[in-house]
Amino acid sequence: MLLFSRFAPNVLLSAAVALSVILAAVMLGLAMDQRWLGLKLEAQPRLAIPASFEGLWIDAIEHDSPAAEQPGAGIPASVASLVSIGGPDQRSIQLTPQDLMEEPDALETYAGMRAFFARQDEIAGILRSIGGVELGVAFLGETQTYSVSPKHQRPVTSLPPSFWMQIGVGLAGFWLGAWIWSLRRGEWATRFLLLAGAGLMISAFPAAVYSTRELALPGRLFSVLSTFNHIGALTFGVGMIGLFLVYPRRLVSPNWLAFPAVILGAWQVVDILQLADGPGLGFHLAVVLAMLAIVVLVAIQFKVTRGHPRDRAALAWLGLAVVVGAGAFVATVIAPNVLGIGAFVSQGEAFLFFLLVYVGVALGVARYRLFQLDEWAFRILFYVVGVLLLLVLDAILIVTIVDERAPAFALSLLIVALAWLPLRDMLARLVLRRAELSRGNLFRQVMDVALTPPGRDQQARWRALLENAFRPLSVTAAADVQDPALIDDGLALAVPGAGGLPGYRLDYADGGRKLFSLRDAELAVELTTMLANALESREAYEKGVAEERERIARDIHDNIGVQLMGALHSRGLARKDMMIRETLTDLRDIINNASNPDLSFDEMLADLRSQISEHLFAAGVKMKWEVESAGPAILPLAAAHTVRSVVREAVQNALKHGQPKSIRVTVRLDEDAIALTVADDGSGFDPSSVQTGNGLANMQARVTSLGGRFNVASGVEGTRIEARFPVDIVRITQ
């Protein structure tokens, strides 16, 4: 195991695939290394009306085969039978339906098996005779002899579908076992799964050769292939028994894990040495007992996984696949042979039941993360399959239509790119059930949560969002969640709250049909981040609204309220009208400022000058208005309102307390600041005697709130008020 730990999973899986392909090629070579007549023989004819016959029924004759090319009228098909085969040395063997027996271990005794292998060897020897063979064909009660020269090699196209089925099942079982083992090499469960996959391959490959033979194989080869078939079957049993001893819950200590191998290994020795009466006791009984042991272990695991939902989910998927797949093979092939009634289905077709086992394992990895494997495991598998397809296509093209290697490889690469890559994505969606969530829909739901007022409705929408995104079986509040995280190997997902919303624990993804994956954890991070940003944006918006409301309230209090109060107590009608007009003007400014946050500097000053000049004209005071600016500009709301408030308040204070003859107003706009000066020639006052809360304090508060400076100087020559504050944004227009 230390040696294997040095290699990456894709390297080990590629090596396992290459080894299995080489073994499959060897089996293909053995299947083709037969003398070929071109006859499709059946032990029982497929006729609507039963007919009695001798020998083997000739169901069909292959096109361009030696049997089809023999001189004369030709061998009749579908109406005749092959009753004998003879060689040039006058040897002749009468054929019987037993000569086409798929599996010799269906015989009752080992002696019968040895006699069968000897007979097969004799028939194969006749087929290999130099000078051709003599076929005795019975037709309408008469037997006619045909001389045929068998081809030295069987064409690959003549191999029946059952051959490729068994080869495919063996490859699939071994590949899937090697795939999972390469990703979890240090665990006993994956080692046993690999052992079971290897056993399936060792059993299926030899069976593919001898169960699809045309007529006969050399006896020694047949015997060796049958032995390996038995070894593979019991190895599969050892792997599956060991798997359910440790997965999903360990049932025994490591010292007992070798016990199934010792028992079935000893039984295998009895079978190889033929120490029992026959294969029923020496082989079939061992297979049946191994299957029963698997069923018992699945039942025990089902009991001990009570209270462990993740383990129970893994057991339900894997145990069902093994019991149904392997159990169906035992029930249709092995058990009938033990009872002496013969297999119910062809052995080549029955091997497809084992494919259910490994397809179930692969789907279990996708749905329940069996053996703690996630979606990245499938990416490795699809990568290796793509490389294998590339190599196989390259070899096929070189052998068939393309002579040069470089063009063949380029064409293979193009075919894989155009065909396999789209197919791989489709398989990923089907196997992994990737349901891509609409990001637009999730964003709308997140915004609904963020814009809902805090309270139960907002919490309910947050919970509904999580239920829609992950479809958990249950959702419970979790106050201590800090970051999205998988819990119990994906059994649950912790999702934190944001902006005062509670966190939740989501259990059993997709309605309990799968575990949470790293993809789900990434989606949880995305949702919580999106929600936090949306809540911050809403908070900033509400803060801005509150500040605007506060400004409006302050403006109404400082200006509108004071002016209306002054108008109410004014005795002169003209004075009252003027103050009401000023109040309406201020109210208009407040409304305009709320709807038009950016004001033109020139327009604002023109409006302000008109108001101030009206006041001073009514009071008989001269005004000098000076403006210094680099050009037209757009003034921010806060700066414009501060300019108006300071100038108005300073002028009103001068008129009220100083009895001036003239007032000079100077406004200067620099690149990053505004400077105001309001000076009068009135009687002046003592600034130290001014109490907090009057107009001076309001002006100072407005200027300092913008980071500016405010200064008041007063004496016998009059009063001078200066203010300077920065302008954060001044947009100069062209």
Domain ranges of the chain: 4-32+158-373, 39-152, 392-431, 439-535, 597-732
Q: What's residue 666's pLDDT?
A: 94
What percentage of the chain exceeds 70 in pLDDT? 79
How large is the angle between the packed helices 9-32 and 375-399, nearest 10 degrees?
Answer: 40
CB of 730 closer than 8 Å to CB of 671: yes
Lowest mean pLDDT among 165-179, 201-215, 336-350: 336-350
Sheet containing 709-715: order of strands = 622-629, 662-669, 673-680, 718-726, 709-715
Torsion angle defined by CA atoms of residues 573, 574, 578 and 579, in that order, rounded to the nearest 10 degrees: -30
Instruction: Give the span between the Cα atoms of 6 and 2, in whole angstroms.
Output: 7
Q: Report which listed range, 116-120, 364-368, 508-512, 537-541, is most confident.
A: 116-120
Amino acid identity, residue 279?
P
Mean pLDDT within 301-330:
78
Lowest mean pLDDT among 69-83, 271-285, 397-411: 397-411
Per-residue pLDDT, 372: 57
What average pLDDT does this structure show over 355-361?
75
Quote the pLDDT of residue 734: 47
Least confidently predicted of 24-38, 185-199, 483-497, 670-684: 483-497
Max avg pLDDT among 115-124, 127-136, 493-502, 540-549: 115-124
Choice among 441-445, 480-484, 596-600 with the minimum mean pLDDT: 596-600
Q: Picking from 68-72, 239-243, 647-651, 709-713, which range would have the lowest pLDDT averaged per residue?
A: 68-72
- Comparing 621 with 491, the larger pLDDT belongs to 621
The identity of residue 489, as a single letter, is D
> In this model, does residue 692 exceed pLDDT 50?
no
Which two tokens mark 432?
A: 């992994």
Q: Which residues contact 474 (CB under 8 A, 6 or more apart)?
A: 506, 507, 508
Mean pLDDT across 328-351: 72
Q: Dihedrals φ, ψ of 529, to 5°?
A: -65, -45
Give the largest Cα separation in the chain, rounded: 153
- Write down how long the chain is: 734
d(CA 542, CA 539): 5
Q: To the nearest 10°, report the CA torsion of 565, 567, 571, 575.
A: 150
CA gap 133, 91 in Å, rounded: 10
According to DSSP, the residues that pair with 731 across neighbouring strands are 634
Could you tell me the pLDDT band of residue 370, with boundaries at 50, 70 and 90? low
Return the pLDDT at 216.
95
Among the ranges given (39-53, 118-132, 347-361, 592-606), the one the predictor scored with the smallest mean pLDDT = 592-606
Q: Over range 584-588, report the average pLDDT.
A: 70
Q: Say which CATH class 39-152 falls into.
A: mainly beta
Q: Which CATH number fits domain 4-32+158-373: 2.60.40, 1.20.58, 1.20.1070, 3.30.590?
A: 1.20.1070
**For residue 247, what are its two tokens?**
């997965």
Instruction: Give per-residue pLDDT as tens, 147-179.
Output: 899 999 999 989 998 899 899 889 988 998 888
Mean pLDDT over the full length of the chain: 81
Reduce the secondary structure of 227-276 to three states and give it as a string. HHHHHHHHHHHHHHHHHHHHCCCCCCCHHHCCHHHHHHHHHHHHHHCCCC
Is the pTM of the predicted complex or chain greater than 0.95?
no
Structure tokens at 597: 């946050």
Q: What percent of the chain has pLDDT over 90?
A: 28
Mean pLDDT, to the nearest integer, of 268-278? 93
Q: Return the minimum-mean-pLDDT range out of 5-9, 289-293, 525-529, 648-652.
A: 5-9
pLDDT tens digits, 614-631: 778 878 889 999 988 867
Rounded-to-integer distance, Cα 678 and Cα 663, Å: 7
pLDDT at position 24 over 90: yes
What Å distances lie between residue 295 and 267, 288, 292, CA to CA?
A: 20, 11, 5
* Predicted confidence (pLDDT) at residue 272 exceeds the cutoff of 90: yes
pLDDT score of 507 = 81
Residue type, 438: S
Do residues 317 and 360 make contact, with C-beta atoms less than 8 angstroms apart? yes
Position with higher pLDDT, 430 vs 185: 185
pLDDT value at 435 more than 80: no
In CATH, the architecture of 597-732 is 2-Layer Sandwich (3.30)
pLDDT band at 374; cut points 50, 70, 90: low
Please tell me the predicted confidence (pLDDT) of residue 455: 79
* pLDDT at residue 300, as a whole number: 93
Question: Does position 529 have pLDDT exceeding 60, yes or no?
Answer: yes
d(CA 85, CA 9): 53
Segment 663-667 mean pLDDT: 93
